[in-house]
Amino acid sequence: MINNVQGSQDTVSMDQNPDERTQSQSHRCQLLDLPWEDVLVTHVFCYLPLRHLVSLQCVSKSFRSLVQVYLANCRKFDPTQTGHHIPKEAFCSMLRHNQVLHHLCVSNCSDWITDKELLPVIGQNQHLLRVDLRGCVHLSRHALVAVSLSCPRLQHLTLAHCEWVDSLALRSLADHCPDLRSLDITACRQLKDQAVCYLAGKCPELRSLSVAVNANITDTAVEEVAKKCRELERLDLTGCLRVRNEAIRTLAEYCPKLQSLKVNHCHNVTESSLGVLRRRDVEIDVEPPLQRALVLLQDVVGFAPFINLQI
């Protein structure tokens, strides 16, 4: 049946004169004939990884122009789209004309990105809601100041392991981004209690905060965060060696919405303060003492003896 249909099509094609065949072929719709911004950019290219679109530019001048239109209207730029590593030249080319970004993650550029490459992108994208600069060790405090001044609607910021973050830059963030919902300043070791307290006073809508791996953080900062950020849901104090039970009790008192607390390696935090949060089903990354003892016993003797935990 298929052969008959194909044969009939061939017969019709043969019956056409050359001019008719040429005219028929010229009316075939090609990819680039579709509306660029209304169809291809909005409904097709959004499903392709950016790294594939960059390669597509090499096909022809028309495809290069089309990809440039897409890149100029792209709302999200992160490693899930670009791959685990992106060269400097590709980064600058891809974002040169974009002014509508909402989400920018440059963690896959951490080994080379500096203020020179980042600041122009930040300066022309004032609608950014989420910025991830984790591990970008070659940036400076000017990068955070630029984010603060250019992105007043910012809600989520990751600065983990950016040791260039200092108190003045954090104060700038607090002054200009009052809608901040989550902040990760893990291992930003220049920061002390005073800077974190100032942030808490200016950003009361914080839901998630990490001040992990910073021995400068004490009960003073934790208690101020607890009192000023009543909507807090997640707090990471991992490795904050100077935090004690008093701060955890204050946290339990003032933060009824707390869902997750990390206090691993906080040697001055004990079950006497954590127990209150456990009874509220707060997720804590440290096991209760009895549970830890059972795990250690199992490692030593090869099995866990039956113990009635209800006693």
pLDDT, position 1: 42
pLDDT, position 13: 47
Count of CB atoms within 10 A of residue 17's CB? 8
Report the C-alpha gap between 79 and 51 in whole angstroms: 10
Secondary structure of 119-180 in HEC code, one letter for each residue = HHHHHCCCCCCEEECCCCCCCCHHHHHHHHHHCCCCCEEECCCCCCCCHHHHHHHHHHCCCC
- Rg (the chain; Cα; Å): 28
Count of CB atoms within 10 A of residue 237's CB? 27
| pLDDT confidence tier of residue 19, bands split at 50, 70 and 90 | low
Nearby residues of 91 by Cβ (< 8 Å), 6 or more positions away? 106, 109, 113, 117
pLDDT, position 9: 44
Report the C-alpha gap between 151 and 128 in whole angstroms: 6
Count of CB atoms within 10 A of residue 170's CB? 25
| pLDDT confidence tier of residue 68, bands split at 50, 70 and 90 | confident
Is 51:77 a contact under the CB 8 Å cutoff? no
Is 238:265 a contact under the CB 8 Å cutoff? yes
Of 79 and 194, the structure prediction assigns the larger pLDDT to: 194
Asked if the model's pLDDT at residue 310 lies above 60, the reply is no
The type of residue at 25 is Q
Asked if the model's pLDDT at residue 5 lies above 50, the reply is no
Helix (H) or strand (E) holding 105: strand 103-105
pLDDT, position 301: 58
Structure tokens that stand for 19 in this block = 């001019």
pLDDT, position 30: 77
Report the C-alpha gap between 49 and 66 in whole angstroms: 15
Mean pLDDT of the chain: 85
Nearest of 61, 72, 55 to residue 32 by alpha carbon: 61
- What is the mean predicted confidence (pLDDT) over 10-15? 48
Report the C-alpha gap between 217 and 92 in whole angstroms: 37
Report the C-alpha gap between 251 and 244 in whole angstroms: 11
Q: Averaging pLDDT over each range in 35-44, 83-92, 123-132, which range is the top one?
A: 123-132
